[in-house]
């Protein structure tokens, strides 16, 4: 289950804080794998990855690779954003429900008419200074979406 890799020519606008714990997640992104944490005690997923389960507070945490398909739960188009993202304006951000049940927020990649319920695939976005992730329309057989 590897994600497509999308290359960006510029550094990440707001680089994430990488800790010893989250390095596993960021390194997997470079390999095109999307990981979340799953609690060994109550079996629930958490994202962003957490060293302690937010539901039962155990530290018995496992890393689990996710399917990279899902649907847009909600989205917005940003026309006036923080100064550090000014070069990207306008851009779209989505709330994604992965098929595994994990809900997350991420940039939407591509110039398309986004809509709630749209099928997406997660992509690993490779910047010169490190990886990030995003979602783009899932390519369907009848070419309904332009990527
Ligand atoms: Zn738990």
Task: Give Rg (Cα) of the chain.
Answer: 16
Domain boundaries, the chain: 5-137
pLDDT band per the 50, 70, 90 thresholds, residue 75: very high
Give the model confidence (pLDDT) of 91-119 as tens digits: 999 999 999 999 999 999 999 999 999 99
For residue 84, is pLDDT > 70?
A: yes
Is the model's pLDDT at 146 over the cut of 90? no
Q: How far is the CA of 62 from the centre of ligand 1 (A)?
A: 11
Res 43 pLDDT > 70: yes
Cβ pair 39, 25 in contact under 8 A: no
| d(C-alpha 127, C-alpha 47), whole Å | 22
Ligand 1 centroid, distance to 61 Cα (angstroms): 8
Residue 94 near residue 115 (C-beta atoms within 8 A): no
Q: How confident is the model at residue 137 (pLDDT cuts 50, 70, 90)?
A: very high
Q: What is the pTM of this model?
A: 0.89
Ligand 1: centre distance to CA 46 (Å): 9
């Amino acid at each position: 289950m590897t994600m497509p890799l999308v290359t960006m020519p510029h550094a990440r606008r707001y680089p994430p804080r990488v800790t010893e714990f989250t390095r596993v997640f960021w390194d997997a992104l470079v390999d095109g794998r999307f990981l979340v944490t799953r609690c060994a005690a109550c079996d629930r997923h958490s994202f962003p990855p957490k060293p302690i389960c937010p539901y039962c507070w155990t530290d018995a945490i496992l890393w689990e690779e996710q399917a990279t398909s899902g649907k847009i739960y909600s989205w917005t188009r940003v026309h006036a954003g923080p100064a550090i993202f000014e070069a990207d304006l306008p851009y779209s951000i989505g709330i994604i429900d992965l098929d595994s049940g994990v809900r997350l927020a991420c940039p939407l990649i591509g110039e398309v008419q986004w809509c709630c319920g749209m099928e997406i695939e997660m992509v690993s976005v490779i910047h010169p200074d490190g990886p990030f992730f995003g979602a783009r329309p899932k390519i369907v057989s009848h070419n309904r979406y332009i990527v």
